[in-house]
Structure 1
Amino acid sequence: MKRIYQFILASFLLLPFSAAAQDDLLALADADSAVTSDFTTATFKTTRIINGHSVQTIPGKELLFMISHRFGTLDGGAYNFFGLDAATIRLALEYGLTDRFSVGVGRSSLEKTYDGYLKYKLLRQKEGTWAAPVTVTGFASTAITTLRYDNAEKNEDFSSRLAYTYQLLIARKFNDRFSLQLSPTLVHRNLVTTTRDENNVYAIGAGSRYKLTKRTSFNAEYFYLLPGATADDYINSFSLGFDIETGGHVFQLHLTNAQGMIEKFFIPQTAGKWGDGGIYFGFNISRVFSFDKDKKVEKKW
């Protein structure tokens, strides 16, 4: 298993670059044909399946603004309006340096956390000559918690606030309606609460999309924690979502047992149980802005 994650890390050290772009998220919904120039397009509607990243990268010279929101758990009852009285939010900007290479930054209210990522599409699903059965994207992120600790000495230790995530996102679009993705994952935390907690947490994610209509789809996502102390103490993240695309925006509505919206939180720290009402209602809103006037709407993700 360790060799797999060493390969992921090595892949990011050897990333090549290329160039291209797109115009509007609305164009994604029109990608009914699975292949453009032999390459498969629109495996997922946007860069997230629900909580986790999809294989999609931001097209070159495009800026994506994303608002992610989670209310409280449904078990809060009527007094807390079934979770609507509580809120956790994340704001993010993601930019396509090329069609295959994206960078992003974000800030979550949970633990006042800042995060940044690099994402590169290593392989694109393709038909015909030199066919490739899947799309493969490498992902690496760093998150830093800026929450003030009670311990003054702990506040001064910068490295203890850092956490890192490495993923290999592997997806296949089987037809115009159904896509499936697997996401082997390593989350490394420089500081953990007790000696029992694991600094390195390994997980396997699975996500799928089923297109219901031209503008809507149903998504599901699950992260399985590999056996260890973290798997014993926490719950596997499980989420269901519904995507709506309209007017250049993608609205993603979902139910999840994870409060956090970045890998540092929803993979190793999920505590909600679906059977006990530990479910968060939330949404993602995505909007793309183009910085290339020569681009055409027909350019698809």
Structure 2
Amino acid sequence: MNLSKITFSLFFLFWFGFTSAQDDLFKELNSDSIVKKEIATAAFKGLQVCTMQSTKLASKGEWYFLVAHRFGDLTEGFGNFFGFDNALTKIGGLYGVTNWLTLGLSRHTLNKNYELAAKYKFANQEVNGFPVTIVGYNTMDINSNLSEDEFPYLKISNRFAFSTQLPISRKFSNAFSMELNPIYIRKNLYEPRFEKADNFLLALGGRHKISKRISINAEYAFRLNAKETSFYHNPVTVGMDIETGGHVFQLVFSNSQPMNDVSYFTNATGITDGKGIYFGFNLYRVF
């Protein structure tokens, strides 16, 4: 057999093999055996579990208006009208820049604090694939209440505090979801006797749906490197989600009155001798 016949034979075999493989690939792509990735949705209906952030983001183009209150110590009774006399308020807004990025701005009565926030999604839980939803969350606090008259050596950087969080959630069923959240808090101004500049926590949250529009939620954060002299406690909150049309209404009971992430996770006064229970709510309205 001469060289030209060998070359032709090899070309024929290559071409036949390539076209056969191509036909098999097209058949496979067009067959029902290819399953599209299905995203597990609504692990949490609210943007927060209770006070801690959930893995839910705003959809692209959505505006959320937020109003939240934490009333004073409920156990003080009629003396402070069951907490109504010294409530803390949070008011703010969120915008879904994309389906994977939400930006927020809020103002808190505590320390006249402004909180900038960014939430961004790394991965979605898939029904028959990736097991969890992973989200990043960052905040920057600006304390506008600090006065140079009280702190003569006050620097601009002293007004700032930061949180970095990595909420990881899994929807186990239509009724039950859980979230794990490693947290790092950085304070540029703190009380050295009771606090540290760098704080590490590990938080756990969960949601159990009890009806079509109502769920019971709970969360707890363990402070990994708290000072032994600290009188602050690990924050714990229980609550209820109520879905009402265009918004989710959350009722909560907590041992921490602050609502900005930095203070909530590091300055919970705790429940001592039956005191230190704070009732409140979160109200989100989407546009």
1:110 and 2:105 are equivalent in the alignment: no
TM (normalized to structure 2)? Answer: 0.84
SS of the aligned residue for 2:219 comes to strand
Relative contact order, CA 8 A, sep 6+: which one is greater? 1
In structure 2, what is the equivalent of residue 39 of structure 1? 39
Which position in structure 2 is the counterpart of 1:88? 88
Match for 1:219: what amino acid? N
What's 2:32 paired with? Answer: none
Displacement, 1:232? Answer: 4.1
How far apart are residue 45 of structure 1 and its match?
Answer: 0.8
What amino acid maps onto 1:143 in structure 2? D
Structure 1 stretch displaced more, 57-66 or 192-201: 192-201
Q: Look up the match of 1:151.
A: 150
- Distance, in Å, in 2 between the alignment partners of 1:87 and 1:282 is 9
| Equivalent residue for 1:136, pick from 106, 130, 134 | 134
Q: Which of the numbers 230, 233, 258 marks the counterpart of 2:256?
A: 258
TM-score, length basis structure 1: 0.80
Partner of 2:66: 66
- Tell me the alpha carbon deviations over residues 88-120 of structure 1, each in whole angstroms, 9 at most, x when there is no partner: 000111111111111111000001000111111
SS at structure 2 position matched to 1:182:
strand
SS at 2:152's partner residue? helix
Preserved contact between residue 197 and residue 230 of structure 1 (Cα < 8 Å): no
Give the distance between the partners of 1:227 and 1:114, measured in 2 at CA.
26
> Counterparts of 2:86 and 2:152 in 1: how far apart (Å)?
31
Gaps of 5+ in 2: 1-35
Opposite residue 65 of structure 1, the aligned amino acid is F
Quote the Cα distance in structure 2 between the aligned partners of 1:232 and 1:179.
Answer: 33
Q: Which residue is 1:16 aligned to?
A: none
Measured in 1, the distance between the counterparts of 2:228 and 2:205 equals 21
**Distance in 1, Cα, partners of 2:50 & 2:273:** 20
Q: The residue matched to 2:262 in structure 1 has which SS?
A: helix
**Matched residue, 2:30:** none
Q: Specify which of 212, 215, 222 is matched with residue 214 of structure 1.
A: 212
1:46-67 deviations in whole A, cap 9, x for unaligned?
Answer: 2111111001111000011110
8 Å CA contact retained: 2:195, 2:226: no
Aligned counterpart for 1:236 among listed residues 234, 237, 245: 234
**1:19: which partner in 2?**
none
Determine which structure has more spread, i.e. the larger CA radius of gyration: 2
Work out the CA distance in 2 between the residues paired with 1:231 and 1:240. 27
Q: For this pair of structures, how many residues does the alignment match?
A: 251
User: Structure 2: how far apart are the matches of 1:211 and 1:231?
Assistant: 39
* 8 Å CA contact retained: 1:182, 1:207: yes
**What SS does the aligned partner of 1:284 have?**
strand
Is structure 2 residue 190 aligned with structure 1 residue 187?
no
Amino acid corresponding to residue 89 of structure 2 in structure 1 = I
Specify the SS of the correspondent of 1:77. helix
Amino acid at match of 1:259: Q
Task: Tell me which of 202, 205, 211 is aligned to 1:204.
Answer: 202
Q: Distance in 2 between matches of 1:106 and 1:100?
A: 20
Contact 1:257/1:274 (CA < 8 Å) preserved in 2? Answer: no
Paired AA for residue 249 in structure 1: H
What amino acid sits opposite 1:136 in the alignment? I
What letter matches 1:206 in structure 2?
L
Q: Is the 8 A contact 2:63 2:286 kept in 1?
A: yes
Larger mean Cα displacement after TM superposition, 144-153 or 92-101 = 144-153
Q: 1: distance between equivalents of 2:125 and 2:246?
A: 25
1:68 is paired with a residue whose SS is strand
Is the Cα contact below 8 Å between 1:178 and 1:209 reproduced in 2? yes
Q: Quick check: 1:230–1:268 contact (8 Å CA) kept in 2?
A: no
Determine the C-alpha separation between the residues in 1 that align with 2:152 and 2:230.
30
Q: Is the 8 A contact 1:225 1:231 kept in 2?
A: no
User: How far apart are residue 70 of structure 1 and its match?
Assistant: 0.7
